[in-house]
Every structure is written in C-alpha cells, then in structure tokens.
Amino acid sequence: MHESIRRGALTALRCTELRYTGPMSVRRNEPIKSWQSGDSVQGFVLVSRKETRQDRNDRTYLDLKLTDASGSMDAKVWADSPALSADFEAHDFVAIRGAVKLYRDQLQMSVDHCRKVTDEDRQHGFDESKLVPSTREDGSDLWRRLEQAMATIARPELKAVADHAMAKHGDDLLGHPAAKAIHHAYRGGLLEHTTSMAELAIRVCGNYPQVDRDLVLLGVLFHDLGKIRELGAMPVNDYTLEGRMVGHVVIGRDMLLACCREAGGVPDDLRLHLEHLVLSHQGRKEYASPVEPMTPEALVLHFIDDLDSKLNQLEGTRQDGAGLHWQRGLGRFVWLAQGPEVWEDAEPASLSGYEGFAAGGRPAAPESAESPAPPARHPETVSDEAEEEEEQEEERVDARGGAQGVDPGPPDPSEAATGGRGSEPPGLFD
C-alpha cells in the first residue's frame, strides 16, 4: 500500500511544473522580471520579507518575498528544503537557487538553497546596485526640477522655508522611498513623487489662478517629508518605531513647524494654513488624516497626491503587459491598453515654457514625454488570512507532488546532469 502511494506521488510530482522532462539549464544572475514558470534559477536577491509559518501538519516553512531592481516575486521554503535552516533575515542580500512555477496565475519560487552573500560572491556576479529597486529617472535631474519648481514661490518668507527644508533634508529626500509598498516604493521614489507633484501643482494652479500656488508648493514639499522618519531607507523600507507610533502625517507637520521657526518670518495665518495642508493631505479621516481638506489649496494638494500615486501604481502594473489586471492598491480590476509610443529623443517633462507662472501668468503647456516607468513588479496574491493559509498548504502539496508526508523520491538523474533541481551550482553553494 505504501509503495503504491509512493509511486502515485512520484507520478504526480513529474507532472507538476517543478519537474523537467528534458535537459534544462540553470538561468544564472538574470533579473526577477525575466523569470518564467518552469525556470530553474540561481543568483542574488534582496529578501524584502521573511515570515515563519506552519502548515496543517505543524511543519515549519518560510514565506519570502524576493526583490531586485527589476521587480519582486513571492517564494516558499518548504519543510524539507535545506534552505529552511539557512542563516538569513529580512533585508539581507542572499544567494539563492530554486524553481519557478505558476500557482493560481501567480509566479512564485520554491527555494532549494539560500544563504547570505559574502565578499567572495562578487566574483559570481553579486552587485548591490542591481538588487535595490530604484527610480528609473536621473536623481540629479529630479533634484534640479524640484529646485526649479520651488524657485517659483513668490513670497520671500515662504521661499526661505522651502530653501531651508531642501538644504536640511535634501540628502534623505534623494534616496528615500515614498511608501512601503503601494506607490513609488523604491530608492528615490519620494523625490520622484515630490517632483512630479510640484510640476503638476504649477500646471493646476496656472489653470486656477484663485488658488495660492506658493502654499500648494510648500504643501507638496512637506506633505510626505515625514516619511524619511516613518520609513527606513532602502533597502530596509520598513516602518520605524516612530513611524508606527506617530505616522508621517504628524511627523511631517512637526518638521514643517521646525523649518518655519528656523527660517523665521512666517506669519501665523500662513503657518496655520500650511499645517492644515500637511495634516489633511490624505483626504479623509479613515485614511489617517487628522482633518479633512477645508481650503482650495488643501483640495488641490490632496487630489494631485492621489492622482500621482494612482498613476504610478498603474504604470507598475502595466509592466506585466496590456490587458485586464487585478490592481491590489486600488482594490479593483483595471484595464490597461498598450502604452503610447515614446520617441527615443523625447525629453522628460519639465517647467520649460512655464516661466510665466512666477508672475501669475498662464502660458501654453510645453511639450512633454511619458516619464520612465518605475520598476516592474509581479502580481501579488490578494486574499484574507484564512484563504491565504489554505492556499499556502495547497502550494506545499503542489510543490512536493502529492499527499503530505509522502517521500517524492530522489530527483530525476537527468536533472542532476543538466543543472536541474537535483544539482548544486558550482561555486555558489559549494
């Protein structure tokens, strides 16, 4: 009886996507975005999430999220994998080896080997710069464009606050993400988001001259500035204790007040309005805004923040191809057609042609091009805790080829000879 179960498990195992019937080479040091179902992969990644869980038989396994500059992918370390006892933590760079499969329309890896990187791994292709998600825009150009936008602030006392804040917090602004996961969640994402909003604010205020552009621009600069203390810098990008207990909205208001004191000369009514802009920019109390927008400037700030973050989410989803996608951040399906063609010699959008705004004019819009897309991300499974636990147990059964507790037998000899799951890569895991 036991032998028949074992043979059935072996048959099922060879039918799964994790078993190969012909010669299969290992894909080495290729970006996560390029991984496909059926691939055997080896290389270096950043572990952005590591959680220990139990299956229905109380066996321990690891739920991981693997990241590089091109994207991310969920991964599992099952109870019988040597990687289960490996010494690594979340936010570590690791050498990894495993197989990619498609489970419920989501790509994920089953990890066979994993360890922290060492200096010797550089000879095998380890490079931190290729593993940390970063803005695809040029950081120095983003900074120049933000300075150009803030230079349009007309009131000297408010311009002094902007200059002081950029001098004081500029280094952090350059490298920080704008969020943990939802939008602009990569190195330089906060600067990219702030610059995009500043340029958008100038355009919107040019169309609505009754809106105080100076206040909106300072609101843009400070609205998410608290995230440099709410979140750790990349590659950690996780909440700090202050971030958990206070949050970026209140932190940002405190940073605004400090800059107003240090720069000096800000009238009380303008300072109060600026406080309101920062405290209300999330839009609704259920979205962690202590107050809701009460002025035209606060409404403009909220809406351009919401617009820029949502379009960034859609651009990330677009990298998975045109068509219908579940967009986790929006909580809905979205339809994305093929993106517009971008000419190779097109220049990024800038304030060129908007010089008249400094004098309150409304010049014609300049030519612009689509901004480079942020790093692509693979879709993530969306489910509540109960569904997730059930799916993870099914994944474990699928990945091991049959009933729980059944030994699937030794790997196919052809795999060991061709670099499949049964063999260890030369050098990397010796």
Structure pTM? 0.67
What does 177-192 look like in DSSP terms, one character per residue? Answer: -S-SSSSS-SBTHHHH
Q: Say yes or no: 414 and 299 in one domain.
A: no
What is the predicted pLDDT for the residue at 340?
Answer: 62
346-381 per-position pLDDT tens digit: 455 545 444 444 433 333 333 433 433 443 333 333
Place of tokens 């107003």: 260
Residue found by looking up tokens 């922290």 in the block: 116
Q: Examine the domain organization and report whether 333 and 392 are in the same domain.
A: no
Please, which pLDDT band fits residue 2 given cuts at 50, 70 and 90?
low
Domain membership of residue 364 (yes or no) is: no
**Domain total for the chain?**
2
- pLDDT tens per residue, range 249-304: 999 999 999 999 999 999 999 999 999 999 999 999 988 899 999 999 999 999 99
Q: What is the CATH number of the domain that holds 84?
A: 2.40.50.140
Verify that 412 and 351 share a domain, yes or no: no
Pair 177, 108 in one domain: no
* Residue 187 and residue 271 share a domain: yes
Helix (H, G, I), strand (E, B) or coil at 256: helix
State the residue range of the domain holding 214: 139-359
Residue 72 reports pLDDT greater than 80? yes
Is 206 a domain residue? Answer: yes
Per-residue pLDDT, 424: 43
pLDDT of residue 163: 97
Tokens of 112: 């066979």
Q: Is 146 exposed, middle or buried (0-12, 13-18, 19+ CB in 10 A)?
A: buried
Pair of tokens at residue 59: 């066996």
Query: For 93-103, b where at least 16 C-beta lie within 10 A, e where not — what string?
Result: bbbbbbbbbeb
Pair (259, 305) in one structural domain = yes
Q: What is the DSSP string of 297-362?
A: HHHHHHHHHHHHHHHHHHHHHHTT-SEEEEETTTTEEEEEPPPPP--TTPPPP-STT-GGGGGT--
262 plus 349 within the same structural domain? yes
Q: Are 380 and 74 in contact (CB under 8 A)?
A: yes
pLDDT tens-place string over residues 168-188:
999 898 888 888 878 888 888
Give the tokens for residue 337. 């057609």
Structure token digits, residue 158: 């408010």
157 and 72, same structural domain? no
Domain for residue 24, yes or no? yes
Name residue, tokens 């000419």: 343
pLDDT at 399: 44
Same domain? For 297 and 187 the reply is yes
**What is the average pLDDT value for the chain, to the nearest integer?**
78
What value does the CA radius of gyration of the chain take, rounded to a whole number of Å?
Answer: 25
Q: Give the model confidence (pLDDT) of 131-145 as tens digits.
A: 888 888 888 999 999
**Same domain membership, residue 180 and residue 90:** no
Question: Quick check: is 286 in a domain?
Answer: yes
Q: Model confidence over 77-131: pLDDT tens digits?
A: 999 999 998 999 988 999 999 999 988 888 999 999 999 999 999 988 998 888 8
Q: What is the 3-state secondary structure (H, E, C) of 274-307?
A: HHHHHHHCCCCHHHCCCCCCCCHHHHHHHHHHHH
Residue 111 inside a domain? The answer is: yes
Residue located via tokens 């289960």? 84
Q: Is residue 366 part of a domain?
A: no
Say if residues 297 and 277 touch (Cβ distance below 8 Å): yes
H helical segments located in 84-155: 139-150
For the chain, what's the residue count?
A: 430
pLDDT at 430: 58
Only one residue has tokens 């990619």, namely 100
79 DSSP 8-state letter: T
Question: Has residue 162 been placed in a domain?
Answer: yes
Distance, CA of 407 to CA of 98 (rounded, Å):
19
Neighbours of 373 (CB within 10 A): 16
- Contact between residue 355 and residue 363 where contact means Cβ atoms under 8 Å apart: yes
**One-character DSSP codes across 147-170:** HHHHTT--SHHHHHHHHHHHHHHH
**Does residue 388 surpass a pLDDT of 80?**
no
pLDDT at 323 over 70: yes
Q: Are strands 323-327 and 60-68 parallel, antiparallel or unpaired?
A: unpaired
428 located within any domain: no
Write the CB contacts of 408 (distance below 8 Å, at least 6 apart in sequence).
9, 10, 13, 400, 401, 402
pLDDT of residue 411: 38
Q: Where are the beta strands (DSSP E) in 166-269?
A: none
User: In terms of domains, do 184 and 209 share one?
Assistant: yes
**In terms of domains, do 284 and 233 share one?**
yes
Which residues are within 8 A (CB) of 384 and not within 5 positions of it... i.e. 6 or more apart? none
Predicted local confidence at residue 52, as pLDDT? 93
